[in-house]
Structure 1
Amino acid sequence: MSKLTLENVAYRYKSGNRNVVDSVSCTLESGKLNAVVGSSGSGKTTLLSLMAGLDQPTQGSIHINGEDLARLDLDQYRRERVSMIFQAFQLFPLLTVLENVCFPMELNGLSLKDAAGRAGSFLASVGIHEDKFRRYPANLSGGEQQRVAIARSLASGARVLLADEPTGNLDKANGENVVEILQHLAHDQDYCVVIVTHDPGIAEKSDKVWRMSDGVLKENG
């Protein structure tokens, strides 16, 4: 079981005069699909960056399974324990589909041969068939690219998946497919999944909905 706990977390840009994340306390657990909703500029993407260890709080603390992120090697944390899924996919354009998914495993010391075998399984689990493995990202549809990005996140071994507007560049059908995959990962494979989104349809399918406004996070309902 994986759990992220935020305790009185705040963040302010060095040049800013107010907190963009303000006194946030919450617990995000595995087995649940969590949605963070709010208008542009509400602080939700900054909050996700804090959870990912890309930024560090100016106040408060973030814990994964009881361990304070401030005491961890954050590069290792992002390689092994938490993974981000982006709106723009962020696949390596000069690597094939299979190579993209192999990359985090090789980074963590797995041989290319072993990584390739596991990568195929991860790709199959998100509906990418073997005939696409040797293609480059530019030769895939947006929905396929996002599914490859999810497979790459799974390949890292991370049990916490942080998705920033993962359906933002997709049509309705592909967006629903991606949400179903993330829902399956939370409910059936016990991942902790957090989605930042503007899409009310994602919120309706989530187990917990958190609303962010002016840096303040509150649970809906």
Structure 2
Amino acid sequence: MKLTVVAASGGTGRHILTQAIAAGHDVTAVVRTPRKLDGTAARIVAADLSHPDPATLQEAIAGADAVLSALGATTASEEGVAERGTRAVIEAMRATGVRRLIVLSAAPVGTVPSPQRPTPPKHDPGDGFFMRHLGAPFARTKFRAHYADLARMEDAVRASGLDWSISRPPMFTDKPLTAHYREAMGRNIRGGFSIPRADVAHHMLAMLNRPETVGQTVGVAS
């Protein structure tokens, strides 16, 4: 399969890239700093998704079977990059006729207001007592701007008209790949407090061959 991986040098993006190459996919990696992927067996396209260039993204996406994006802010100065960059990716996909899009979000985002969901549920239906009353409120307060950006990004994805899936994991760890995790359509995972980045990448790649995940937000956790 021919894949384009957006934000391929980040924490989760690098796992997506590495696993996709190991699985024999033909991969194009979209990164801001190409030298971070020196020696990688992938076609590399330099692009700053905080100021997207349509022609560059169309070049990176044209001919792909799917796009997988791990785009998200890692510093306060990058806030808004998930929405801006993903909107640019969507436009490039429309321009080039590529349909399948899988994006990385976060478990608390389902309860974060956005322009298209101004009154979201107060609690995610998959959250237990601890997450409802302690974990999720703490995370939303600490990462308020980041989650607001992801919520707007999700709005753009849902309105895209593409064959999309949204991955919503909880807290990341850097533990090794296990390939053993739980998932739920349209809700978080009860008691799912964390997951290795490598497992999130594995799950996003697995969704490529699962048509029942199209048009779904998917909770995933260890």
Interval of TM-score (by shorter of Structure 1 and Structure 2): 0.3 to 0.5
TM-score of the aligned structures, taking structure 1 as reference length: 0.35
Which has a greater percent of strand? Answer: 1
Comparing both chains, which one has the higher relative contact order based on Cα–Cα distances under 8 Å and sequence gaps of 6 or more? 1
